Structure formats: structure tokens, C-alpha cells
A and B are shown apart, each in its own frame.
Chain A
């Protein structure tokens, strides 16, 4: 059966058949919510990805709380150091440049993709981390719009700096900073069903644009620029939920 599946979808990587869910059990991820006498679901795992290093140790893993949502493989590469050049946008001001990237330029509804941020700040200037007094703007990326389900982002630890001009010690970033985040794309039913309609309009397959904002405030030793909100767009091709298998030849 796996052979037919692999041929139908042009899959070349190895797909393993875990008959009786032996390995699923050994990994400890058998879905134990499902009763043993269930005709369809018994034996399935909680779905997820492991990045395993050559010595057999888990280096990273991605499991989502809802089986309808799945991590994307590109996301795991990005979290583990790969620079995502494929899908990025560059924002430049007079004192800094920022590259915001997605781990991929295409995905299925319900997948989680990686988000990367690299900010290069001119010498003698800094931007802010958290926590901050209300009068300052910290550094943050946000996504919005109908494609966005959940978004989380982690800035690296900031360093404490005494800002002599205002005599305050605040968390700041200088030089080059890198951060990664996770963006969950809304799930959309692969097959329309009346009982799923109240959950929201389906996402049409095709090219979409993710909208987001990059907020920051840049200051030097002597002066502060006003807080800025720069809007950006990143293309994302949403694939059809159940792709049609390629036509058989011959």
C-alpha cells in the first residue's frame, strides 16, 4: 500500500510501515485516546517530527497540540541554523536593516512554518528588548490576516545597558541579532463539509500574501528616533489540501 502511495505522489524518500504500531509504541507516541476496538483509528501516533543527530540523539522535535496542524520540514531546518533565503523580505532604514523570512514559500493549510528575523544595527545605535517602560517601543515581529492561526516569536536575551542621556538601564540589542518564531497557517478542510462551514471560510489554494509588521525604536547615545512600524508582505503559496495524484502513465 505504501508503494502505491509513494508512486502516486512521486515520493522518493523512504516511508516505513510500522505494522502493529510497534515503533510508535516504543517511541511513546501511540494515541492512547483511541480505544483498541476502534475500526479506523487504533494504532495511529500523535503526529510529529524528530530531527535526530548522527549519534541517535533527538536534536529537535516538533509536535503540535492539534493533529489537524502539522510542522513543515523547512521549519525544522530553519530552527537548526539553516538560513532561509528562499522567502524573505528586506526592510531598511537609515540606522538598521532587517530581513524577515519564512522557512518556505509554499505550504498546506494547517501547517506551521518557521519565521526568521535578522536585524543589523549600525554602530553606536541600539534597539530595545523587554521589559520596557511604556514610553519605549520594543523590537517585535507580528503577522496578521485571515491566513494566520497562531504566531509565537522569541527574541534572544537582551543586554542591559546604562543609557547615560536618560540615566536609565534598559534591555538593548546592538550589532546583529537573530531570532526565530513559529507561524501556524489556518487549517482548511480538504473536502468541503456542511458541518465545517461554521469554522470559517475555506482558504483558497493559490498564491496568497502574508501581511505583517516589524516594530522597533532605534536610539543612539544622544538621541532617539520615534518608534517605527514597518509593514511588509511575504508571498505564500497555499497548496490544495488533498493534491490529486499524478496521472498514471501507460
Chain B
């Protein structure tokens, strides 16, 4: 899928969902999913060091990789949203 097609599918789906979702077909949905999955990237390879970070947690406290690290390691999960 080229970038313009993806952009148009992604905009259109949200527009239709916002309008109540009446005109969405199964094939629209599958295109919407595919447009997001296309050419997915997975980041640092096994054996590579991860970037350092410092981000606020749900209590407003800044956490870094070192703060979060356990004795045996850290499971870091990236999820798409906690908002929707």
C-alpha cells in the first residue's frame, strides 16, 4: 500500500466511526487494519542495547531504565494507547 492510500484509508475510517459507523464494510475494516500493520518495525535487535529514557509514570514520578530494571531484567511493553 502506498502512503497516500494508507493516509486516506486511515482518515476515512475515523471519520466514519465519528459519524456513527453506519457505512463501514468488512472490507473497509480489513483495509484499515492492513494500513496500520504495513511494514511493521520492531526496533532494537536481540543483542542490541536499548535507548535510555526518562518518562513520567502514572503517579507523575520520573522513571528511567535503571529505576525500572529488576534483578533478572525488565519486560518493557509498548501498547498503542491507554486512551481508546
Contact surface of A with B, Cβ cutoff 8 Å:
1-3, 5-6, 11, 14-19, 22-24, 26-35, 38-41, 44-61, 63, 65-68, 70, 73, 76, 193, 195-199
Give the residue of B25, B33, B58 whose beta carbon is less than 8 angstroms from that of A68: B33
Q: List 5 A-B contacts (CB under 8 A).
A: A27-B78, A28-B44, A33-B1, A50-B43, A198-B26
Report the separation of the CA atoms of residues A34 and B70 in the bound assembly, to the nearest whole angstrom: 34
Question: When the two chains form their complex, are residues A17 and B51 in contact, meaning their CB atoms are under 8 A apart?
Answer: no
Contacts of A30 in B (CB 8 A): 41
Chain B interface category by residue count: 35 or more
Nearest CB in chain B to that of A5: its residue? B82
**Beyond the given A38-B10, A46-B78, could you list 7 further A-B residue pairs with CB under 8 A, ordered by the A residue number?**
A14-B68, A15-B57, A32-B39, A41-B14, A41-B36, A60-B46, A61-B43
Residue of A33, A53, A68 near B35 (CB, 8 A) is A33
For window 16-57 of B, CB contacts with A under 8 Å fall at 21, 24-26, 28-29, 33, 35-53, 55-57
B: residues with CB less than 8 A from A are: 1, 3, 6-7, 10-11, 14, 21, 24-26, 28-29, 33, 35-53, 55-60, 63, 65, 68-84
Given A15-B58, A51-B73, A56-B65, are A195 and B53 also a contact pair (CB < 8 Å)? Answer: no
